[in-house]
Amino acid sequence: MKLARISASLMLLAALGVPAAQAQVAKTREQVKAELAEAVRTGNMPASGDSGLLLNELYPQRYPKPAAAAGRTRESVRADLAEAMRSGEMIAAGESGLKLNEVEPQRYPARAVLAGKTREQVRAETAEAIRSGDILAVGESGLKLNELSPERYAGQRGLHAAHAAMPAASGVMR
């Protein structure tokens, strides 16, 4: 009897998450009893056997249904639909998968276009990344070239830092 009680207590503690409880402030006996009573009431306890299911998952008819989360109001859904229709964000008929404003852009207000980088800026950034080894290496390592072989790029970083520190008006060619 005592062995069964100890093993049941250990299973219950494992189900309630002892590692998470150790990281937090210690709970009182009354708090643990209240949590156990709540777990028994709601069926949030592991079922016996190898299923890995909780009691409320194995026998849903025995336990109260969890409260449904509050959804969106009818008015907010209608407002979103009206906005999608006005802006053409609805999917066009057919199998293209395009939106109405992509099929017939002249019928809908133009979208705001964000200013991007110029071609020269992108080229300059790419050249700098290649020089400094700040690009991904080939393979699945996920490392950059300057992380794989730092000795190869150490001089480049120091040289680049020295050039960046020089004033532009000094007349020195870079």
Q: Where are the alpha helices (DSSP H) in the chain?
A: 2-16, 18-23, 29-42, 55-58, 74-87, 100-103, 119-132, 145-148, 150-165
Residue 67: its pLDDT value, please? 79
**56-72 burial, b if ≥16 CB within 10 A, otherwise e?**
bebeeeebeeeeeeeee
- How high is the pLDDT of residue 76? 94
The residues, ordered by sequence, that sit 6+ positions from 45 with a Cβ below 8 Å of its Cβ are: 12, 15, 39, 54, 55
The conformation of residue 105, written as its DSSP 8-state character, comes to G
pLDDT by 10s per residue, the chain, length 174: 555 566 666 666 666 664 554 556 788 999 999 999 999 998 889 988 888 888 988 888 998 887 778 888 999 999 999 999 999 999 988 888 899 999 998 998 887 778 889 999 999 999 999 999 899 888 888 888 888 888 888 765 555 555 555 554 444 444
Domain ranges of the chain: 2-62, 74-107, 119-168
Output the pLDDT for position 16: 63
Give the residue carrying structure tokens 């802006």.
87
Q: According to the model, what pLDDT value does residue 171 have?
A: 47
